[in-house]
Amino acid sequence: MKRLRTPKQQRGIKTKQRIVKTALRLFARRGIHGTNSTEIAKKAGVSIGSFYSYFKNKRALLLEVLEDYVEQHYRTIWKKLNDYNEDSLVREKIKTIVDSVFDAYDISPDFHRQTHALRYTDPDIKRIYDREREREVDRIRHLLEKNADSLKNITDSQAAAMVIHNAVENVAHTAKFMGSDIESERLADGLVDMICGFLLGSDHAGS
């Protein structure tokens, strides 16, 4: 079996990154099943031999593309939170997080739609998405626990974090993938109202 290359020099690292980025674009545009390794290599400007020195096959590349995608998704959601004090959970912060989730689904909606459907039949894709969900829920739980003194109604931070995560994900999926007669901005605002009411009490919903 041919040994795969682990790039250490900048040139090799950039070549592998270029293959991953090219594959994401082609998977999104032409479909995962409608794209082959030869086409990816050609569009990335590398030989097919070079392609196979980095990736065993198209499936191995797909999983790496997905790993890279979910990392971008996570960073998009949480990067703005770094500008806030996590000890102060207010409506503005909740709205920032919700808006960032909606933004994250704009990174590559066609790729997300395809891989999200495959998670029900492909255990490796399911594993990647499940791990990402656990990381996001844990981040929400951490935020709730940092603000426990002001969240008197929350007695189970883990369960509350899962409820919030699933609510946001489902509404974002409706807005971005399923379509709705209500525009995304109104759905996001309604979601913020619901979360504020759940966490902070009815006085903070819609304020």
Mean pLDDT, rounded, for 2-23: 81
Burial code (b: 16+ CB inside 10 Å, e: under 16) for 62-72 equals bbbbbeebbee
Q: What local confidence, expressed as pLDDT, does residue 1 receive?
A: 44
pLDDT at 193 over 90: yes
Q: What local confidence, expressed as pLDDT, does residue 92 receive?
A: 87
Type of residue found at 80: K
pLDDT at 190 over 90: yes
Question: pLDDT tens digits for 26-54?
Answer: 999 999 999 999 999 999 999 999 999 99
CATH of domain 10-56: 1.10.10.60
The CATH class of 62-204 is mainly alpha
Q: Look-up: residue for tokens 């844990």?
A: 138
For the ranges 187-191, 194-198, 203-207, which has the lowest average pLDDT?
203-207
Nearest to 103 by CA among 27, 41, 188: 188
Instruction: Give me 197's structure tokens.
Output: 């009411």
pLDDT at 85 over 90: no
The domain ranges of the chain are 10-56, 62-204
Find the helix or strand (DSSP H, E) in which 126 lies. helix 123-146
Q: What local confidence, expressed as pLDDT, does residue 11 receive?
A: 82
Instruction: Give me 127's structure tokens.
Output: 């594993």
Question: pLDDT tier at 87 (50, 70, 90 boundaries)?
Answer: low
Q: What local confidence, expressed as pLDDT, does residue 52 receive?
A: 93
Question: pLDDT tier at 202 (50, 70, 90 boundaries)?
Answer: low
CB-based contact 73:104 (threshold 8 Å): yes
Question: pLDDT tens digits for 101-160?
Answer: 999 999 999 999 999 999 999 999 999 999 999 999 999 999 999 888 888 788 999 999
Measure the CA–CA gap between 123 and 160, rounded to whole angstroms: 27
pTM as predicted: 0.87
Sign of the C-alpha dihedral computed for residues 175, 180, 184 and 185 taken in this order = negative
User: Which distant-in-sequence residues (6+ apart) come within 8 Å of 182 by Cβ?
Assistant: none
Q: How far is CA 87 from CA 59, 79, 99, 142, 200, in A?
A: 43, 16, 20, 10, 14
